[in-house]
């Protein structure tokens, strides 16, 4: 699990308007003689040059929903829409202190092809590679709804049968199991494809007419699949969760298809690795129906490495959880506190018996909804530029709310004024929520329509409402295109639970373009108190740490929406080198919002967070029955399996990875966050039960 990263992410498009409440200086001159030119550099890169008399800044609307701002008039833009596209680019030139601007539009044609070298490498092994139906795996052929709206969310495919070899044990479908799918590349990213069906193709019943057949059952028919097809990769979006798809689609020429005939030549790649390829395709007769296929690069087993053959049989460490009470203190210690280590989780970890205990021969880690929240709320309104005699409103929240971007745990929204008295009787204000466990630097920002006019106004005033006296309220102004161009001022609240006006002096701000307002309430503090959810996270750090072996954990998982249980390991040198340099091996992760699937992952430099090496597998009874979650870890490889059977993730270990040193165990149940997702509003509590954990070497 991704626990130890802290990001302050500031990504927001700037939207420009010719309307302004700024007051022009007497000597300001309206820009004139605006000219704009472009130079297409290829690969979607276009360089723009704009010039105008008396202009001090240029705003670019690139025609694809993004914008840019520059003082020099030169700017580079990378377009990412695949295909041949024409964009209307509008450039607006303005002068500091002058509300009038001039604009000019040009047309820019951009042609962009799509390529993904990693996918090409996996498909073709750099030259040519043959794939086979993964007959040893459940789900080598599966079916499920394809679109949102059928059941409200993506369905993991329903397997045709619990018998892994069903499609190869019946005469009606045995032709499906000997297909050979060969992908080749010319080294320039171009992919060709041939299907050897050994004379017969397995047809979906709705498509039998394509082979001259009829009937209402899927059947094998002689069918000519000779000839080479071209394969084009393209990005695809749909209702598959981001973590369950590569976002890449294969389009086959000349009615090419992959093994099972459903009249489609388009296949979304859900996952791909050296040995396993998992795709889905929409049925041409029923686009609300999707077919799922698994292929393997291993011709002998037809399913890759079907079963784990272990080289470790000596039991060297275990916990059978056979003594009631707290977990054995000689084996386990605790992580305590709130926040989720950068994942936006909602729980606070405790060592309370109601959250973690051994009972009836199993370890129970229970997440509980407390019904309370330690969130700290601040309010603000009427953000204004001011000087000794005049003012200009930047934001009063009475019209369309700005787009707020929060970081470090803080969220901001416009609400009805909860205390329309004293200094502020307006109807709408901004509410900043800083939850228990948020980062000390948590805050949020919004962007301005036009850059700040600090030549006319030297200060910014804000009406604020804080629950306490002495809360540090940091105001930072920033260039949205260059966060290093910024200036910040700290003030403190002087009254509690009442509106006051704070005025920030920006007369010393460097001469940058400032078009972003960033606010940090209670800067330097992380709220303390009762979280809305409590849970537990236990670990063997400094008690048991090991290198290489087979780990087997038998567990039954919670099912409530928003739960995020995990059984994982972290490099024992974490305190010295940090994450992801320490390495992380996730033996099992699960989310209650997708309860029939478990996943495994490896995090290390260059492959961490959303870029981790990961794969998932179907475990339909993960929340109702105990299953064995296993990792086989050697200097040469790392393999993950469920119930000692199918290897769903295999990694080639090497001397330059972190996976050649001591690691320690962690078990926990998180709530919500980046993977846990939306928490069921009716959640009260749910439990992960662990029967045992064993290490063999």
Point out which residues pair with 386 in neighbouring strands: 391, 459
Q: Please give, one letter per residue, the 3-state secondary structure of 368-409.
A: EECCCCCCEEEEEEEEEEECCCCEEEEECCCCCCCCCEEECC
Q: Please give, one letter per residue, the 3-state secondary structure of 220-247.
A: EEECCCCCCEEEEEEECCCCCCHHHCCC
Dist. CA 147–CA 239, nearest whole Å: 6
40: number of Cβ within 10 Å: 14
What ranges make up the beta strands (E) of 448-548? 459-465, 472-479, 482-492, 499-505, 516-521, 533-535, 537-539
Are the beta carbons of 446 and 403 closer than 8 angstroms?
A: yes
Residues contacting 574, CB < 8 A, separation 6+: 4, 582
DSSP state for residue 155 in the 8-state scheme: P
Dist. CA 110–CA 118, nearest whole Å: 25
CA 225 to chain centre: 39
User: Nearest CA to 106 among 58, 38, 14?
Assistant: 38
∠ CA 375-376-380, nearest 5°, is: 135
Dist. CA 640–CA 381, nearest whole Å: 53
Dist. CA 221–CA 206, nearest whole Å: 14
User: Nearest CA to 13 among 461, 445, 496?
Assistant: 445
∠ CA 136-140-144, nearest 5°, is: 150
Dist. CA 481–CA 476, nearest whole Å: 15
39: number of Cβ within 10 Å: 11
Tell me the Cα Rg of the chain.
30
Dist. CA 378–CA 464, nearest whole Å: 7
∠ CA 391-392-397, nearest 5°, is: 125
Dist. CA 284–CA 281, nearest whole Å: 9
Are the beta carbons of 471 and 521 closer than 8 angstroms?
A: yes
Report the length, in residues, of the chain: 697
- Output the CA–CA distances (angstroms, integers) from residue 423 to 292, 427, 465, 491, 503, in the order listed: 62, 13, 10, 18, 14
Dist. CA 586–CA 569, nearest whole Å: 6
Residues contacting 544, CB < 8 A, separation 6+: 317, 331, 664, 665
248: number of Cβ within 10 Å: 18
∠ CA 605-696-602, nearest 5°, is: 15
How is residue 159 written in tokens?
């397997």
What is the torsional sign of CA 669, 644, 650, 551? positive
Upstream peptide bond of 580 is cis (omega within 30 degrees of 0): yes
Give catalytic residues, as residue numbers: 584, 589
């Amino acid at each position: 699990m991704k626990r130890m990263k802290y990001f302050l992410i500031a990504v927001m498009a700037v939207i420009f308007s010719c309307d302004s409440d700024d007051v022009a200086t007497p000597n300001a001159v309206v820009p004139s003689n605006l000219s704009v030119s472009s130079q297409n550099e290829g690969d979607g890169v276009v360089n723009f040059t704009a010039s105008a008399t008396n202009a001090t800044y240029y705003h670019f609307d690139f025609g694809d929903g993004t914008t840019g701002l520059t003082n020099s008039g030169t700017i580079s833009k990378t377009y990412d829409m695949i295909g041949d596209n024409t964009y209307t680019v509008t450039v607006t030139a303005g002068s500091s202190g002058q509300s009038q601007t001039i604009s000019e539009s040009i047309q820019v044609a951009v042609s962009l092809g799509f390529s993904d070298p990693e996918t090409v490498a996996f498909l073709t092994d750099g030259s040519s590679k043959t794939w086979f139906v993964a007959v040893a795996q459940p789900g080598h052929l599966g079916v499920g709804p394809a679109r949102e709206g059928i059941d409200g969310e993506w369905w993991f495919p329903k397997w045709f049968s619990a018998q892994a070899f069903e499609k190869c044990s019946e005469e009606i479908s045995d032709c499906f199991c000997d297909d050979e799918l060969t992908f080749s590349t010319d080294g320039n990213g171009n992919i060709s494809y041939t299907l050897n069906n050994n004379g017969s193709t397995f047809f979906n019943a709705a498509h039998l007419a394509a082979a001259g057949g009829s009937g209402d059952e899927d059947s094998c028919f002689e069918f000519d699949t000779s000839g080479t097809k071209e394969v084009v990769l393209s990005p695809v979006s749909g209702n598959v969760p981001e973590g369950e798809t590569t976002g890449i689609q294969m389009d086959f020429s000349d009615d090419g298809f992959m093994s099972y005939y459903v009249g489609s030549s388009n296949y979304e790649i859900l996952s791909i690795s050296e040995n396993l390829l998992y795709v889905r395709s929409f049925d041409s007769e029923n686009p609300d129906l999707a077919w799922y296929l698994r292929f393997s690069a291993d011709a002998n087993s037809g399913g890759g490495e079907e079963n784990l053959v272990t080289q470790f049989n000596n039991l060297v460490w275990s916990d059978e959880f056979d003594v009631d009470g707290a977990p054995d203190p000689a084996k386990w210690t605790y992580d305590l506190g709130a926040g989720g280590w950068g994942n936006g989780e909602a729980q606070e970890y405790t060592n309370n018996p109601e959250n973690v205990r051994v009972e009836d021969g199993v370890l129970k880690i229970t997440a509980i909804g407390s019904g309370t929240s330690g969130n700290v709320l601040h309010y603000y309104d009427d953000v204004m530029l001011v000087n000794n005699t005049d003012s200009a409103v930047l934001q009063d929240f009475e019209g369309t709310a700005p787009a707020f971007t929060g970081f470090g745990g803080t969220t901001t929204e416009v609400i009805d004024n909860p205390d329309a008295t004293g200094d502020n009787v307006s109807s709408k204000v901004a509410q900043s929520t800083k939850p228990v466990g948020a980062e000390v630097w948590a805050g949020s920002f919004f962007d301005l329509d036009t850059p700040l006019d600090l030549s006319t106004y030297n200060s910014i005033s804000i009406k604020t409402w804080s629950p306490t006296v002495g809360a540090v309220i940091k105001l930072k102004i920033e260039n949205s295109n260059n966060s290093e161009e910024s200036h910040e001022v700290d003030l403190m609240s002087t009254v509690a639970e009442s509106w006051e006006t704070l005025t920030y002096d920006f007369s010393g701000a460097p001469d940058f373009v400032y078009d972003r307002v960033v606010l940090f309430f209670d800067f330097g503090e992380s709220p303390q108190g009762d979280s809305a959810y409590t849970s537990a996270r236990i670990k063997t750090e400094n008690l048991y740490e090991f290198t290489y072996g087979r780990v087997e954990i038998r567990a039954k998982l919670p099912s409530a929406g928003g739960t995020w249980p995990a059984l994982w390991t972290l490099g024992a040198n974490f305190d010295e080198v940090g994450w992801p340099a320490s390495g992380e091996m996730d033996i099992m992760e699960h989310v209650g919002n997708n309860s029939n699937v478990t996943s495994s992952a490896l995090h290390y430099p260059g492959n961490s967070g959303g870029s981790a090496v990961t794969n998932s597998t179907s475990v339909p009874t993960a929340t109702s029955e105990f299953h064995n979650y296993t990792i086989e870890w050697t200097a040469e490889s790392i393999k993950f399996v469920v119930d000692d059977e199918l290897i769903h993730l295999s990694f080639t270990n090497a001397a330059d990875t972190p996976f050649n040193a001591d690691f320690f165990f962690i078990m926990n149940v998180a709530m919500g966050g980046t993977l846990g997702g939306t928490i069921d509003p009716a959640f009260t509590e749910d439990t992960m039960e662990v029967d045992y954990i064993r290490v063999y070497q």
